[in-house]
Amino acid sequence: MLVTLCVVLPLAMLPRIGFLSYSSSVAFLFMVYFSIVVVIKKWSIPCPLPQNQTIPLVSQFNNSSDPECTPKLFVISSRSAYAVPTMAFSFLCHTAVLPIYCELHRPTKKKMQYVANVGISLSFLIYLVSALFGYLTFYEHVESELLLGYNQYLPRDVVVMSVRCAILLAVLLTIPLIHFPARKAVVMLIRGDRPFSWPCHVVVTIVLLAVVLLLAIYVPDIRNVFGVVGSTTSTCLLFVYPGLFYLRISGDPLKSPQAISAVALVVFGVLVGLLSLCVIIVTWAQE
């Protein structure tokens, strides 16, 4: 609560998204540090994993041919229903595109495309490295929150503790960036095109942050949040709406390759969203 009031709230109160560029850059550096440590710690945890015991801080390497230590290209289980929604949620930057575009110096589509390409490519690289080496460290025992896996085997490792702090700061510095378009959407629904109002700005900011804080406190597994949000809003924003908007705006005949691709994108989004959401609900019922 104190951290939210002292760090997140002042950043979230900023009226322009351009002010958040510095905090976002710092958060990205923290994530780079996280991925580097995940790569390094791959060789600090042996495989197969020891049961109910910690590992000495001395780095270990194990050439075991145990089947448990053999990476698999595809693993299909009930947990797979969380995979695509989580990835969709991870790349959901669409909501910030228009605010960022409006604050670019001499904004053009080409410049915005370059910004999007660089941002998504860097994010993909961080996700890929962290996920790959996290899986190669824990294999089928990898946690939905990767750092939890290190708690059991390296509970007093100073580097892991520093990464935990870095991730905490990265999340805190990123929340205002995600919060900005959400607040803007709510304010536009309430006030329309009326002039900027500080009272409305402050009230909406506090309400949205309170909702986020309550979810963070009372939702036990972040995988559930990523799964539900990813299978509903994220799949719509990533797959369904872009395809529908293209079909509505372009005016291309439905038999054209572009229109067929747009329809396929919409169908893919609907199927993935519905299937993932159904499997997630069934998994909850079984648990």
What are the boundaries of each domain within the chain?
Answer: 2-218, 222-287
This prediction's pTM = 0.78
Q: Tell me what pLDDT residue 64 has.
A: 53
- Tell me the pLDDT tens digit for each residue of 163-203: 989 988 888 888 888 888 889 889 988 888 888 888 899 99
- Tell me the pLDDT tens digit for each residue of 219-261: 777 777 777 888 888 888 889 999 999 999 988 888 888 899 9
- Tell me the pLDDT tens digit for each residue of 75-88: 777 677 777 777 87
Q: Tell me what pLDDT residue 53 has.
A: 57
Q: Tell me what pLDDT residue 261 has.
A: 93
Q: Tell me what pLDDT residue 114 has.
A: 92
Residue appearing with tokens 């038999």: 255
Is 90 exceeded by the pLDDT of residue 33?
yes
Is 80 exceeded by the pLDDT of residue 43?
yes
Q: Tell me what pLDDT residue 250 has.
A: 85
Whole-number percent of the chain with pLDDT over 90 = 21
- C-alpha span between 37 and 17 (Å, rounded): 30
Three-state SS string across the chain, please? CHHHHHHHHHHHCCCCHHHHHHHHHHHHHHHHHHHHHHHHHCCCCCCCCCCCCCCCCCCCCCCCCCHHHCCCCCCCCHHHHHHHHHHHHHCCCHHHHHHHHHCCCCCCHHHHHHHHHHHHHHHHHHHHHHHHHHHHHHHHHCCCCHHHHHHHHCCCCHHHHHHHHHHHHHHHHHHHHHHHHHHHHHHHHHHCCCCCCHHHHHHHHHHHHHHHHHHHHHCCCHHHHHHHHHHHHHHHHHHHHHHHHHHHHHCCCCCCHHHHHHHHHHHHHHHHHHHHHHHHHHHHHHC
